[in-house]
C-alpha cells in the first residue's frame, strides 16, 4: 500500500486511498484502547502485545502522511488513539527473555498516548517527555502535525476573522513543539544518523518537526500532488497564497536555508545520487515544504518597496542563500543588481533548481521525481517573470 501511495500514476493512488477505509476499519475492530500493564506478562505475550500496539501506531502515522501530502482528513484521528506509547528500542529488540528482563529494569511504567500528548502543551511538559521512546516521539510529532491541520481547517471557516491562526493557537503549539524537541534531545535513543542501531525513526522525526513548524506559520495546503501532473503542481505552487513576512516566518525560512545548506556542503549532485539510501519519504516531504516556503518568501521580497521594509535579518538570509547558490551551477548573474526586485525572484528560481536536481536524482518513491519536475517548471515561471 505504501508503494501505491507514492506511485507515479494517480489511478494506483486512487486505489490505495480506497483501501484506507478498509485498513482503518480493521484497526478499529481490533481496538484502539490499551491500559498500562499492571502486572508483568510473560515475554512472548508481551512481544505480541507490543507488536500489535506498534502496528497500530504505524498505521496512525501512515494516515497522517496522507493528510500531509494530499491535504485530506486523516483516516485515523488522534482522539481515537487511546493506546500506551511504544516501549524503548532495547526492550523491543531483545532476542531473549533474559535480555528483555534486563532491558525492562531501565525503563519506566507505560505512559498513555493521550496523557503524553496533553503534557506537551503544559509549561512543565519538558520534564515528563524524557521517558518517551523514539517510536513514542514519532507518534507524538504526528499528533502535533494533525493538530495543526485541524486548526487550519477551523480557521478557514471563520468568516469574521483574518483567516489565519490566532496568537493563542500559535503560542500553544510552540510550547508543545519546544517540549517535544527537548524530550527528543534528551532521549538516549535519539540520533541524527539514519543508520543508527536504534533505527531511523528518531532521524525521521526531526524532518516532521521541521515540517510542523513550517505548517504552523504558513498555510501550504492545496499543491495538487494527487494529480501526479508536474504542470498542475507547478501552477498550484504559483497560485499558492503569498507569504506574510514576520519575525517568526523569518526563523522558519532560516531553518529552510539550513536544510538547503546541508546538501550543498555535502555536494548536491552526490546527495541526488545517494538520497535513496538516507532519505525517507518524511524527509522528502519536509524538503518540499522548505523549498516552497523559501521560494514564496523570496517572492514576497521581489516587489518594489516591500511593506514592511526589509529587515537586517532578512537581508542576512538573502545573502546566505546567494552565497549557497554561488557554490552551484545556478549562481546569480552579476548583471542583476542586488537592489533590483528581480534579484530575489531569480534567487527563488535558483533555489528551486537545486532542490529539483536533488529530487530528480536517484530515489525510491516515484512521487519524488514528479515533484522534481514540478519544481523545475515553477522555476521556469519565475524566471520568465
pLDDT of the residue at 79: 96
CA–CA separation, 37 and 23 (whole Å): 27
Q: What is the pLDDT of residues 14-68, one digit of tens each?
A: 777 788 888 888 999 999 999 888 888 999 999 999 999 999 999 999 899 888 8
Going by pLDDT thresholds of 50, 70 and 90, the confidence category of residue 349 is very high
**Over the stretch 209-259, which tens digit does the pLDDT of each residue have?**
989 999 998 887 767 888 888 999 999 998 888 888 888 899 889 888 888
For residue range 174-188, list pLDDT tens digits in order.
Answer: 999 999 998 888 887
State residue 336's pLDDT score: 77
Distance CA 167, CA 119 (A): 20
Higher pLDDT among residues 291 and 129, named by residue: 291
pLDDT for 94: 93
pLDDT at 188: 79
What residues contact 188, with CB distance under 8 A and at least 6 apart?
none
* pLDDT for 175: 93
Give the H or E element holding residue 147: helix 134-156
- pLDDT beyond 60 at 2: no
pLDDT at residue number 136: 93
**Residues 136/91, Cβ–Cβ less than 8 Å:** no
Query: What letters, b where the CB count within 10 A reaches 16 and e where it falls short, cover 282-302?
Result: bbbbbbbbbbbbbbbbbbbbb
Q: Judge contact between 190 and 179, C-beta under 8 A.
A: no
Of residues 13 and 296, more confidently modeled: 296
CA separation for the pair 383, 385 (Å, rounded): 5
Q: Which residue has the cell 528482563?
A: 101
- What are the pLDDT digits (tens) for 130-171? 678 899 999 999 999 999 999 998 888 776 666 788 889 999
pLDDT at 3 over 60: no
Give yes or no for residue 329 having a pLDDT over 80. Answer: yes
Least confident window among 10-14, 199-203, 252-256: 10-14
pLDDT score for 178: 92
Evaluated on CA atoms 74, 201, 2, 235, the torsion sign reads positive
Average pLDDT of span 297-322: 89
Amino acid at each position: 500500500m505504501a508503494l501505491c501511495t507514492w506511485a507515479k500514476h494517480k489511478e494506483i493512488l486512487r486505489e490505495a486511498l480506497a483501501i484506507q477505509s478498509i485498513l482503518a476499519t480493521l484497526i478499529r475492530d481490533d481496538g484502539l484502547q490499551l491500559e498500562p500493564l499492571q502486572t508483568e506478562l510473560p515475554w512472548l505475550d508481551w512481544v505480541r502485545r507490543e507488536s500489535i500496539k506498534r502496528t497500530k501506531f504505524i498505521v496512525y502515522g501512515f494516515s497522517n502522511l496522507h493528510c500531509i501530502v494530499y491535504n485530506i482528513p486523516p483516516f485515523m484521528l488522534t482522539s481515537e488513539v487511546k493506546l500506551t506509547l511504544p516501549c524503548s528500542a532495547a526492550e523491543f529488540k531483545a532476542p531473549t527473555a533474559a535480555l528483555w528482563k534486563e532491558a525492562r529494569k531501565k525503563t519506566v511504567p507505560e505512559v498513555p498516548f493521550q496523557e503524553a500528548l496533553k503534557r506537551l502543551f503544559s509549561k512543565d511538559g519538558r520534564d515528563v517527555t524524557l521517558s518517551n521512546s523514539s517510536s513514542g516521539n514519532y507518534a507524538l510529532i504526528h499528533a502535533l502535525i494533525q493538530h495543526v491541520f485541524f486548526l487550519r481547517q477551523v480557521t478557514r471557516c471563520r468568516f469574521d476573522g483574518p483567516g489565519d491562526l490566532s496568537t493563542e493557537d500559535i503560542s500553544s503549539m510552540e510550547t508543545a513543539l519546544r517540549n517535544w524537541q527537548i524530550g527528543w534531545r534528551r532521549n538516549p535513543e535519539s540520533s541524527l544518523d539514519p543508520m543508527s542501531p536504534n533505527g531511523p525513526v528518531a532521524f525521521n522525526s526531526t524532518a516532521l518537526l521541521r515540517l510542523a513548524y513550517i505548517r504552523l506559520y504558513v498555510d501550504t495546503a492545496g499543491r495538487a500532488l494527487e494529480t501526479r501532473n508536474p504542470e498542475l503542481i507547478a501552477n498550484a505552487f504559483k497560485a499558492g497564497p503569498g507569504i506574510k513576512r514576520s519575525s517568526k516566518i523569518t526563523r522558519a525560512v532560516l531553518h529552510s536555508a539550513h536544510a538547503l545548506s546541508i546538501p550543498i556542503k555535502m555536494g548536491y549532485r552526490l546527495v541526488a545520487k545517494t538520497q535513496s539510501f538516507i532519505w525517507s519519504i518524511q524527509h522528502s516531504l519536509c524538503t518540499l515544504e522548505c523549498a516552497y516556503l523559501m521560494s514564496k518568501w523570496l517572492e514576497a521580497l521581489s516587489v518594489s518597496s516591500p511593506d514592511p521594509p526589509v529587515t537586517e535579518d532578512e537581508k542576512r538570509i538573502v545573502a546566505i542563500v546567494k552565497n549557497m547558490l554561488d557554490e552551484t551551477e545556478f549562481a546569480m548573474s552579476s548583471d542583476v543588481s542586488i537592489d533590483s526586485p528581480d534579484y530575489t525572484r531569480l534567487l527563488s528560481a535558483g533555489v528551486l533548481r537545486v532542490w529539483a536536481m536533488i529530487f530528480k536524482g536517484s530515489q525510491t518513491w516515484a512521487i519524488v521525481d514528479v515533484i522534481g519536475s514540478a519544481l523545475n517548471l515553477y522555476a521556469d515561471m519565475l524566471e520568465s517573470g
